[in-house]
Structure 1
Amino acid sequence: MSNSKGKKPDDIEALIADFQRSGMHELHVRAADFEIYLSADPAAPGLDAQVIATPATSSPKAEPQRPAAAASHPPVEAAANSTVSEAPAGAIIVSAPYLGTFYRSPKPGSPVYVDVGSVVTAESELCLVEVMKLFTAVRADVAGIVHAILATDGQMVEADQPLFIIVPA
């Protein structure tokens, strides 16, 4: 990576990808005015009580910063009580693409993408996962009905963590 003043989003994304492939549980990098803390443990204290710390400036393609879970949607009852082992036969599990923050809506105050019982197509967006101010839409990839939501808004999720259970239609 280049010096801390020349950090590029691609450099940071590469660092995150390397961390995810490495099998490491924590990574803390500090160089001049840049600091990042990555952890595979969603309960890790992080920097200033955050699991992932970001540089002071955001990348040009970043979306507006979302506030923490304070502005989140109320948890879905099925999310707290469902587990992958309780999924109906033939159900599809949609997992997180990488370590990041799970968001149920496109921006604070907006309606959620889906609720339990929502009918979805393969192209339907279910949520966003954000890391380092980069937001990735997670799609259903199958037509069906949302059976359960397994994460809460604003929660840190790990790579491959189950997020939704969808019963194909």
Structure 2
Amino acid sequence: MSDNSKDVMAIVDLFEQSDWDELHIELDGLHLFLSRNADARLSSGLGGAPAVAAPAAAAAPAPAVAAAAPAAPAATPMASAEPASGGAIPANWVAVTAPNLGTFYRSPKPGAAPFVEIGQVVTENTEICLLEVMKLFTAVQAGVAGKVVQVCVNDADMVEHGQPLFYVEKA
């Protein structure tokens, strides 16, 4: 068994021991997507094909172990935050916050339509954006049902853990 195969198996073992729902790694020609959902498809551009591990060339360095889980961030009313209009937040608006730090992306790939637009109705499980850290993408879910009323961050901006990304008017 090659070193790369051992690395992939070690990552699979770590995934199985974790409480993560999905893991996506792209490193030096290696594309690894693991999911606990057998029907899952990688939405960030591998053509919707079933996810498989494609070992990198033997000369490639060992992939770094990192975690990515679609996050349903704490969707809680943010009484102290203010919307872009500068006024107080209505009581039925809920902030969808960043589950971790990273680069915020509104769409699955450059040039593609955003995951959600202002005025769009979302469910708790609707993917609304991606956060990227070191080429590792975390799909962020709305965590609340309602209508998107504000986008708080510009595409490709760095965000911090807990920073409001969107406001959703609860249904």
TM norm structure 2: 0.52
The aligned runs of 1:35-114 (5 Å cut-off) are 57=28, 60-61=31-32, 82=84, 86-114=88-116
The corresponding residue for 1:162 is: 164
Check whether the contact 1:96–1:160 (CA below 8 A) recurs between aligned residues: yes
The corresponding residue for 1:139 is: 141
Shift of 1:160: 0.9
Ranges in structure 2 where 5+ consecutive residues have no aligned partner:
1-6, 12-26, 34-43, 46-82
Q: Percent identity?
A: 46
Shift of 1:89: 1.0
Shift of 1:142: 1.2
Over 3 Å off, 4+ runs: 7-10, 56-60, 83-86
The corresponding residue for 2:59 is: none
- Pairwise CA RMSD of aligned residues? 3.0
Shift of 1:147: 1.1
TM norm structure 1: 0.53
- Asked if 1:120 is matched to 2:122, the reply is yes
Deviation track 1:1-36 (CA, whole Å, cap 9, x = no partner) reads xxxxxx9997xxxxxxxxxxxxxxxxxxxxxxxxxx
- For 2:32, give the aligned amino acid: K
Shift of 1:109: 1.0
Shift of 1:111: 0.4
Shift of 1:108: 0.8
Q: How far apart are the structure 2 equivalents of 1:94 and 1:146?
A: 10
The corresponding residue for 2:153 is: 151
- For 1:124, give the aligned amino acid: T
SS where residue 117 of structure 1 aligns? coil
SS where residue 32 of structure 2 aligns? coil
Check whether the contact 1:84–1:162 (CA below 8 A) recurs between aligned residues: no
| Total equivalences in the alignment | 104
Shift of 1:86: 3.2
SS where residue 88 of structure 1 aligns? coil
User: Structure 1 residues 132, 99: closer, same or farther in 2, change over 3 A?
Assistant: same
SS where residue 111 of structure 1 aligns? coil
Question: Which structure shows the bigger proportion of residues in helix conformation?
Answer: 1
